[in-house]
Amino acid sequence: MSVAERLTLVAATANPDKLAEIEAILAESGGVELLARPKEVADVEETGETLEENARLKAVAIAEATGRPALADDTGIEVEALGGAPGVYAARYAGESATYADNVRKLLADLSSLPDAGGARRARFRTVAMVRFPDGREIWREGTVEGTIASRARGASGFGYDPVFVPDEGDGRSFAEMTPAEKHAVSHRGRAFRALAEALCLSGLAGDGAMR
Ligand code: IMP
């Protein structure tokens, strides 16, 4: 298959931080071309109780509105000491219109009594990445990364909870202290989208079967 036969997907996310990461990760894999989410399509309410349900709600809305295959993802952060919260409600942890900084502040406050050492602050990010075709077929993959919640925010790159998430597969820096490539190499989103791109490639829907 030639590059001209690459699979074209419409991005369901309106979040520029997530879109930039997804574009960078898919560029590594090749085989997929991404179109921006049409501005006229209304935002989808994320009423699902799982990442998969929310990814599907977003993907179906875009596939139906555009008549093209859509690419959606949903991410949660599960903190063990909080029984898995914020989980799927990560964007709204500090309230309906919470900013990234509000959510980070609340998380640090909620964990303030827990020591840095001994595994008390363990957490994981989980992402579901999904392609949904207008005829109802879908393919999705999940990616996770294990780590700990730092006791204070560190670093200025990335977004969301990145300043307080320290992946196990690293040197102690938070995601916000890493370059984008360092983050994507081990991140939930990197893993989910690389697996999805590979599945699309293996199923003959994208690329030439030889992923870069
Ligand atoms: P969404 O539902 O996939 O849009 O993600 C929910 C929330 O999780 C976002 O608003 C961010 O606060 C957070 N989040 C998602 N992905 C990341 C990430 O890669 N790093 C840090 N925070 C993230």
- The answer as to whether 75 is a domain residue is yes
The whole-angstrom distance between residue 211's C-alpha and the CA centroid of its chain comes to 21
Ligand 1 pocket, mutate which of 159, 175, 193 (most atoms under 8 A from CB): 159
What does the block give as tokens for 145?
A: 């990364």
The closest-lying atom of ligand 1 relative to the alpha carbon of residue 127 is: 3
Q: What gap in Å lies between CA 34 and CA 54, rounded to an integer?
A: 20
Residues with CB under 6 A from ligand 1: 15, 73-75, 90-91, 100, 103, 158-162, 175, 189
- The answer as to whether 208 is a domain residue is no
What does the block give as tokens for 41?
A: 């399509």
Return the closest-CA partner of residue 36 out of 50, 53, 55, 22. Answer: 22
Q: Which residues contact 26 (CB under 8 A, 6 or more apart)?
A: 32, 34, 193, 197
CB-count burial class (<10 Å; 0-12, 13-18, 19+) for 210: exposed
**Structural domain containing residue 62:** 3-202
The closest-lying atom of ligand 1 relative to the alpha carbon of residue 77 is: 8
- The answer as to whether 97 is a domain residue is yes
Alpha helix stretches (DSSP H) within the chain? 16-29, 51-66, 100-110, 180-186, 188-202
pLDDT averaged per 10 residues in sequence order, the chain, 212 residues = 69 94 92 92 92 98 97 98 98 97 98 95 98 96 98 97 98 98 98 96 70 38
- The answer as to whether 151 is a domain residue is yes
What pTM was computed for the model? 0.94
- The answer as to whether 212 is a domain residue is no
- The answer as to whether 209 is a domain residue is no
CATH number, domain at 120? Answer: 3.90.950.10
Based on the structure, what is the number of domains in the chain? 1
Q: What gap in Å lies between CA 177 and CA 205, rounded to an integer?
A: 36
- pLDDT for res 208: 53
- pLDDT for res 5: 64
User: Are the C-beta atoms of residues 147 and 164 closer than 8 Å to each other?
Assistant: no
CB-count burial class (<10 Å; 0-12, 13-18, 19+) for 90: buried
CB-count burial class (<10 Å; 0-12, 13-18, 19+) for 207: buried
- The answer as to whether 100 is a domain residue is yes
- The answer as to whether 109 is a domain residue is yes
